[in-house]
């Protein structure tokens, strides 16, 4: 009997040892396969980054030369207009400024400073006289951006210049590589921003659990890093298949983890369930003619409340985008809006509802047709549903322009939401052919405070006028802010707590009785949205 027990223990121990050894071998082999297989994609990605970096820094050099050779008096109105016209022709710049005697004097966006502002200390001075600022705080917003200057000019580079090239498996850094210098300085990405280092060792390599590739050309160097564990995760199911052959224990652990995850629902799973069960709700914030105070539109804002908990949109919207079901969430919002407001919209043809859409919605060629089908069923005109997109959504200007044109051809107005956050996309504004902009509340809040940021508001409004754009001002909370925008010509629209907080559909329908007194504010039958 004791011999039988000893044998059973021996077999159990041997089984554990064999399974553990097999798991280790399987993981080791899968790591080698993943590292070897990723060399091609990493090279492609690093080359794409390098091509973009060469374009960005070459454009900065060209525009510095243009600014320094300006034919107009220093910081005169004519020179500022000259800088502004030049800026609109660029792709990766956010501003062009003029400096003298160590102080900032004027720029295309900022205009003319009342008093010269001392420049911050530069991060690097190059042998050819350039001053490099890796993360300079901008004068007109709370964000930062890289700046390059030489002579009496500097240019602000777009912090989002590489946003469209991001890859989930890689981290990267883009460095300015001054000619005849022994060091580079980090300007973009997440690796080494502001770091001044010796020249990178070119080529591919590995340090611990990180593989890397470094490439340089002209004024730019790029480093790309990948964590081997992340590569294995992104290489499923190949890595899993290899590991499974020698990792029975790992497979059993994975099954256990899956079962545990099913019993403990993640935020993603909870949100998917809420969307499938139509448990998201919509609130409406009025948009008014600032001069008259008349309600002319409303913005639909999605809300998620579950078991007494309110989950903010800035938490669950990125989850839906990353998980790939943001399109379904958007359609749920549209269905709710039509259920709530179709009768009210029909009774008030001049009234519209603005709905936020994501980059995935904008790029989906079927989105417009699906929206049109729902509008026909609800008997709502397409010009009564406006669509709001963010500046980040339009990072790929050519694709965004085509998508915007498709939606506008169906009768929808398109607005750029939160305009000015992180520094406005001036170069793309004229290309996108949108109907209007919504000025971000961070600029509104500076009205009446004496903040230097106020000076950008007239600039934004002037730009909107040049392009024939409608203007909606967000975040109006005080009479002083209202009076400032009410005095502007042409008229602007606004929204904010001064005019009304987000509320249910009944409140906005009741407000519409002032526009159409005969309109009933009784609850709308569910059949309207069917």
Range with lowest mean pLDDT among 150-159, 354-363, 440-449: 440-449
375 three-class SS: helix
- Quick: pLDDT tens for 326-335: 999 999 999 9
Res 303: pLDDT: 95
Q: Which residue in 101, 112, 91 sits closest to 155, CA to CA?
A: 91
Percent of the chain whose predicted confidence (pLDDT) is above 90: 38
Higher per-residue pLDDT: 125 or 260: 125
What percent of the chain is helix, strand and coil (3-state, nearest 5)?
A: 45, 25, 30
Confidence of residue 264 (pLDDT cuts 50, 70, 90): very low
DSSP code for 454: G
Range with lowest mean pLDDT among 173-187, 448-462, 495-509: 448-462
Average pLDDT of span 166-189: 86
Mind listing the domains of the chain with CATH numbers? 2-35+245-263 (no CATH), 39-234 (no CATH), 274-517 (3.20.20.450)
Average pLDDT of span 310-329: 91
- Quick: pLDDT tens for 18-72: 566 655 555 544 444 444 444 567 888 888 999 999 999 999 999 999 999 999 9
Alpha-carbon dihedral 228, 229, 232, 236, rounded to 10 degrees = -160
- Residue 315's region, left for phi above 0, alpha for psi from -120 to 50, else beta, is alpha
The span from the CA of 161 to the CA of 168, in Å, is 17
Range with lowest mean pLDDT among 18-22, 27-31, 122-126, 257-261: 257-261
Compute φ and ψ for 298, nearest 5 degrees.
Answer: -150, 150
The span from the CA of 233 to the CA of 210, in Å, is 14
Confidence of residue 406 (pLDDT cuts 50, 70, 90): very high
Confidence of residue 501 (pLDDT cuts 50, 70, 90): very high
Confidence of residue 387 (pLDDT cuts 50, 70, 90): very high
Prediction pTM value? 0.57
Higher per-residue pLDDT: 391 or 147: 147
Higher per-residue pLDDT: 386 or 394: 386
Percent of the chain whose predicted confidence (pLDDT) is above 70: 78
Q: Which residue in 371, 368, 380, 296 sits closest to 343, CA to CA?
A: 380
Res 180: pLDDT: 78
Res 527: pLDDT: 36
209 three-class SS: coil
Confidence of residue 526 (pLDDT cuts 50, 70, 90): very low
Res 428: pLDDT: 63
Res 339: pLDDT: 93
């Amino acid at each position: 009997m004791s011999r039988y027990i000893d044998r059973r223990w021996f077999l159990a121990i041997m089984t554990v040892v064999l399974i553990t050894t097999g798991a280790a071998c399987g993981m080791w082999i899968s790591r080698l396969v993943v590292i070897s297989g990723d060399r091609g994609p990493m090279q492609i990605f690093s080359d794409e980054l390098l091509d973009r970096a060469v374009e960005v820094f070459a454009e900065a050099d060209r525009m510095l030369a243009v600014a320094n050779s300006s034919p107009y008096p220093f910081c005169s109105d004519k020179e500022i207009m000259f800088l502004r016209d030049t800026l609109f022709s660029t792709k990766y710049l956010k501003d062009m400024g003029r400096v003298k005697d160590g102080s900032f004097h004027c720029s295309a966006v900022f205009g003319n400073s009342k008093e010269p502002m001392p420049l911050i200390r530069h991060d690097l001075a190059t042998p050819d006289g350039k001053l490099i600022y890796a993360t300079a705080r901008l004068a007109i917003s709370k964000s930062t951006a890289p700046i390059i200057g030489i002579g009496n000019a500097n240019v602000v580079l777009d912090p989002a210049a590489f946003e469209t090239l991001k890859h989930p498996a890689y981290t990267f850094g883009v460095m300015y590589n001054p000619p005849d210098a022994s060091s580079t300085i980090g300007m973009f990405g997440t690796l080494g921003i502001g770091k001044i280092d010796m020249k990178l060792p070119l080529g591919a390599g590995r340090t611990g659990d990180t593989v890397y590739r470094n490439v340089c050309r002209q004024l730019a160097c790029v480093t790309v890093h990948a964590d081997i564990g992340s590569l294995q995760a992104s290489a499923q199911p190949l890595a899993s298949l290899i590991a499974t052959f020698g990792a029975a224990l790992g497979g059993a652990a994975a099954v256990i983890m899956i079962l545990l995850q099913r019993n403990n629902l993640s935020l993603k799973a909870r949100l998917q369930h809420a969307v499938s069960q139509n448990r998201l709700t919509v609130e409406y914030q009025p948009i008014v003619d600032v001069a008259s105070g008349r309600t002319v539109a409303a913005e639909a804002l999605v809300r998620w409340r579950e078991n007494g908990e309110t989950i903010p949109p800035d938490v669950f919207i990125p989850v839906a985008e990353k998980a790939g079901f943001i399109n379904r969430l958007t359609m749920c919002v549209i269905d709710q809006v039509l259920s709530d407001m179709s009768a009210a919209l029909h009774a008030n043809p001049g009234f519209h509802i603005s709905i936020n859409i994501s980059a995935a919605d904008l790029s989906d060629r079927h989105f417009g047709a699906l929206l049109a089908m729902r509008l026909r069923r609800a008997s709502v005109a397409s010009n009564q549903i406006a669509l709001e997109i963010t500046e980040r959504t339009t990072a790929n200007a050519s694709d965004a322009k085509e998508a915007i044109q498709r939606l506008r051809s169906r009768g929808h107005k398109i607005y750029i939401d939160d305009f000015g956050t992180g520094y406005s996309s001036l170069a793309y504004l004229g290309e996108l052919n949108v109907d209007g902009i919504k000025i971000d509340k961070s600029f509104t809040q500076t009205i009446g405070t004496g903040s230097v940021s106020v000076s950008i508001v007239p600039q934004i409004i002037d730009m909107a006028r040049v392009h024939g754009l409608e203007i909606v001002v967000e975040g109006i909370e005080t009479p002083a802010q209202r009076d400032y925008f009410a005095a502007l010509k042409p008229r602007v629209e606004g929204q904010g707590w001064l005019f009304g907080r987000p509320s249910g559909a009944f409140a906005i329908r009741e407000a519409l009785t002032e526009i159409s007194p005969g309109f009933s504010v009784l609850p709308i039958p569910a059949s309207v949205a069917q």
